[in-house]
Amino acid sequence: MLMPLHLGGQTEPNRTDMALSTLLASFLCTVVLPVLLFLVAVKLWEVYMIRGGDPSCPSPLPPGSMGLPFIGETLQLVLQRRKFLRMKREKYGYIYRTHLFGSPTVRVSGAENIRHILLGEHRLVSAQWPSSVRTILGVDTLSNMHGSQHKTKKKAILRAFSREALELYIPVIQEEVQTAVKSWLVQDPCVLVYPEMKRLMFRLAMRILLGFDLERIRTDEQQLVEAFEEMTRNLFSLPIDVPFSGLYRGLRARNFIHSKIEENIKMKVEESDKGSKHTDALQQLIDSSKKNGEPFSMQAIKESATELLFGGHETTASTATSLIMFLGLNTEVVNKLRQELWDKGENGMDLQSLNIESLEQLKYTSCVIKETLRMNPPVPGGFRVALKTFELNGYQIPKGWNVIYSICDTHDVAEIFPNKDDFQPERFLTEPSADSSRFQYVPFGGGSRMCVGKEFAKVLLKIFLVEVVTKCDWTLLNGPPTIKTGPTVYPVDNLPTKFSSYMKNH
C-alpha cells in the first residue's frame, strides 16, 4: 500500500530561507547599494574635478581632496574652521586643492607663495569673494570692485583715514573707550569681553565711519547690533537663497541694516545741502560721488556703508578681545606697558588727551598690538580668482578656480619668528628687514588691496590699550579659551573676565 507523500517537514525551512533572502535583498537595496552609489558618486566627482585642470599645463594640480559632490568641504570648514585648516596644511603642505562655497579652490600659504598671489592682482588673479559674500555685501563694495572704480573708491575712503581725519577721531575714541571701561569695572561677577568689544567697536564705527549722532545710536543700537550679528554669521554660507537658509537669514538682516543706513544718508544729504560739514568716511564717499559727476546711487552708498561698518568694527573687536586675552595670560607684558606709559607721562605726555604724535611715541604698545596680530590675525585670509592658468611652486592653478591666501597659516610657518607659540612683543622692537618680513607678516593683507583702515585700527587699538592698562586689572575666569573663526577670530566662551580698578601704587 502506498503511503501518501508528506512534504510538511520542508515547508517551514523554505519559508525561512525565502524570508532571509528577501531581508538580505532589502538590506542590499536600502543600505549597501546607496552607500556604494554614494562612494562611486564621490569618486566620479573627484575625477571630474581633477579633470577640470588645464590639460595644456604640464604641472599637476595641487594635492588635496574635493569632498562631497557640489557641497565640497564647505561643511567641514564651517564646523571646524581652524582645526580643519591646520589638518589640511599638515596633510598636504603649503598649497592644496579643495572645494569650498560652490567653487574649486586652491589654498595657499607661506611668504613666497602668497607674494605671487598678492602681487599678481590684475595679472594672475583678481579679488573675488565667495558668492554668498558678494550677494550679501553687494557688488558696489570696495572689496568687489576692480580697476579704475576700485582706485576711485579707495581714494575717497582713504581721505577719511588721513592723518588729519584720525586726529579728529581721537577724542571720540577716547570718550567711548573710557565709558566702556567704567561700565566693566562695575559689572559683577564678570564681563563677557567679546560681546562687549563688539558693542564698543560698533558704536565707534557708527559715530566715526558713518556719522550717526549719539541719539540715533541709542535708539537703533541694539537692533542694529543684532542684525549685524546675524548678517556676519551668514556671510560665508552655501549660495542657496531659500527660507531659513544661511543666505536667506543674512540677506534679511542686511536689508534691515540698509533701511537704517538709508535714513541716516538722507539726513546727511539734507544737512550737506544746507552747508553742514561732516568728516566721516560715509560723507567722503557721498562727496566723492558728487565731485566725479556720478549719479547718486543710494544702493551703492548703502552697500559701501555696510562694508565700512563690517570692516571697521568686526576686525577691531576681534583684535581688542585678543589683546585682553593675551595680556590676561602674560601679566609681565601688562607691567611693561604700564612702565612705558608712566615714563611717557613723566616726560610730559598727557594720557587723558592723546593725539597722533603722542601715540606714535608708544613703541612697546605698538609691539604688543603687532604681536597680537601675528598670533591672532582677525581675518584669516583673502579670496582671489585665477584670471588664467599659472604655475605656483610646481603646481598649476587653473583658470577660473578660486584662490585663498592664508594669513594665519603664513604667520604660523614664518621663518623670521622663533618660538612662534610664545607671546613676545619684544620681537618687534627690532624691525626685520623689509625684504625678509614683507610677506611673512601680513595681518592687513598686501598689494593693491591692503586694508584701507589699517591706520585707523592702529590708532583705535593704541587708545584702547592706554585706557585699559592704566585703569584696570583683570583675570580670565576660564583661562585660555578655545579660538574659532567665523568669519573673524573669536573665543568660543566669549572670554568671561573679571575687571577691577588698578591703582598705580597698589
Binding residue positions for heme: 451
Specify binding-site residues: 451
| Cβ–Cβ under 8 Å, residues 142 and 304 | yes
Q: How far is CA 145 from CA 150, 253, 309, in A?
A: 5, 23, 17
Find residue 98's DSSP bridge partners: 105
| Element at 485 (helix H, strand E) | strand 483-485
How far, in Å, CA of 478 to CA of 497, rounded? Answer: 8
**Reduced DSSP (H G I as helix, E B as strand, rest coil) percent helix, strand, coil of the chain, to 5:** 60, 10, 30
List 472's β-bridge partners, or say none.
501
Q: How far is 310 from 376, CA to CA, in rounded Å?
A: 18
- CA distances 465 to 61, 178, 184, 204, 318, Å, are 46, 11, 15, 16, 14
Quickly tell me which residue has 567697536 as its cell: 201
CA distance 116 to 119: 5
CA 74 – CA 65 distance, rounded (Å): 12
Those residues whose C-beta lies under 8 Å from the C-beta of residue 439, and which sit 6 or more positions away, are 111, 112, 114, 115, 118, 410, 446
